[in-house]
Amino acid sequence: MELQFLGTGAGMPSKERNTSSLALKLFEERGTIWLFDCGEATQHQILHTTIKPRKVEKIFITHLHGDHIFGLPGFLSSRSFLGGEETSPLTLYGPCGLKDWVIFTLQLTKTHLNYPLHFVEIHEGIIFEDDQFIVTAKQLEHVIPCYGFRVEQKPLPGELLVEKALKLGVPKGPMLGKLKSGEDVTLEDGTIVYSKDVTAPPKKGFVVTVLGDTKYCHQSIELSKDADIVIHEATFDYSTKKLAADYGHSTNVDAANIAKEAAAKYLILNHISARFLPHDLDKIIKESKNIFPNVFVANDFSLFHWKNGRLTEGNEDK
């Protein structure tokens, strides 16, 4: 799993930061990408990455402020013009009103999509589940309805203990694959070899919490409980905490307190106001680390890798 930030600014684009969008790359898990928010010029940002729009399977919208949705019509339209293989279906998850706005915009501009577009109007609770993932939503505290999402990967099958299976008489070949996938097998002599006897215990999947615009609130803590990675807005810093309260936003200190109280592993600060320039980031990180140690600040195109229970930041090979 990888996280790539396409836009990390707040309110409007600046020279350093575009408006909100985040790509959750699930290539190893399911061969697709999930987007969270799609601010203005998200498709332009994608051009500077290796992301292929056809690979975007789902888009989760936190709320209907323009800096989180104004890139949607362009992205949806361009996804039809890519040519090549048939474009796969796309599902949009968002608050009440998202479907009306998107459909009206497409109809008014006579935009035709060559792929199925599905809508899921989100409410609190589980909004998606399959055999790999569960996505839970909760409403946060902002000036309009706004949601946070908890993405939980279900436990992964344990590693096959090959040597143990071979000692029990299982021949090399398809039977080993069946055992690895959880299926019991019967040998030629009638002996049954049970998958549970030759596989290690299931491995815990990852948990990523993506929070929309919000004040400090208990819903954020609930969504972030024991999460591996929490992505939290930090529109303001501690010196501008009154502005944060007035506008329904959080400071970097609020975000650090959320991660600490939720017993999360890592925190990524996002949605940074244009008032903060690159040289201000060290102070923002230092303030946050005084409360919660494992903190990163996201910049446009930041790429984070999750592997073996560790989060690292690295570059993309373009």
Residue type, 79: R
pLDDT in tens, 9-46: 998 999 999 999 999 999 999 999 999 999 999 999 99
- The confidence score (pLDDT) of residue 245 equals 84
> Residue 220, SS3?
helix
pLDDT at 252: 96
Q: Which alpha helices (H) appear in 94-135, and where do they start and end?
A: 98-108
pLDDT digits (tens, 9 = 90+) for 248-278: 999 999 999 999 999 999 999 999 999 998 8
Instruction: Please report the pLDDT score of residue 290 as a whole number.
Output: 96
Q: Rounded distance, CA 16 to CA 274, Å? A: 8
pLDDT at 318 over 60: no
**Predicted confidence (pLDDT) per residue in 141-163, tens digit:** 999 999 999 999 999 888 899 99
Under the banding of pLDDT at 50, 70 and 90, the label for residue 81 is: confident
Contacts of residue 222, defined as CB under 8 A and 6 or more positions apart, other chains included, come to 138, 262
Taking the CA atoms of the chain, what radius of gyration do you get in angstroms? 22
pLDDT score recorded for residue 158: 84
Reference 203, options 268, 153, 141; nearest CA is: 153
- What is the rounded average pLDDT of the residues 198-208? 92
Q: Give residue limits of the domains in the chain.
A: 2-156+203-314, 162-192
What pLDDT sits at residue 113? 93
Distance CA 264, CA 225 (A): 6
Note if 246 is an active site residue.
no
Q: Which of 53, 55, 43, 56 is nearest to 6 (CA)?
A: 43
Give the separation between CA 111 and CA 74, rounded to whole angstroms: 10
Torsion angles phi and psi, residue 6, rounded to 5: -100, -25
CATH number of the 2-156+203-314 domain = 3.60.15.10
pLDDT at 76 exceeding the cut of 60? yes
The model's pTM is: 0.90
- Per-residue pLDDT, averaged over 277-296, amounts to 94
| Cα 1 to Cα 34: distance, rounded to the nearest angstrom | 11
pLDDT at 131: 93
For residues 110 and 142, give the distance between their C-alpha atoms in angstroms, rounded to a whole number. Answer: 34
Task: Say if residue 182's pLDDT is above 80.
Answer: yes
**Bridge partner list, 297:** 269
> Is the per-residue pLDDT at 169 higher than 60?
yes
Q: How many residues does the chain have?
A: 318
Annotated binding residues for Zn(2+), written as ranges, equal 63, 65, 67-68, 142, 213, 271
Please choose, from the candidates 5, 28, 89, the residue with its C-alpha nearest in 3D space to the C-alpha of residue 54: 89
Out of 37, 67, 254, 300, which one is annotated catalytic?
Answer: 67
Mean pLDDT score of the chain, rounded to an integer? 94
Token pair for residue 70? 């104004």
Q: Quick one: tokens of 48?
A: 């500077």
Output the known binding site: 63, 65, 67-68, 142, 213, 271
Q: What is the pLDDT of residues 110-132, one digit of tens each?
A: 999 999 999 999 999 999 999 99
3-class DSSP state of 219: helix
Number of H helices, E strands in the chain: 11, 17
Band (pLDDT 50/70/90 cuts) for residue 83 is low
Question: What pLDDT is stored for residue 316 in this prediction?
Answer: 65
CA distance 237 to 189: 70
Contact 284, 252 (CB under 8 A): yes
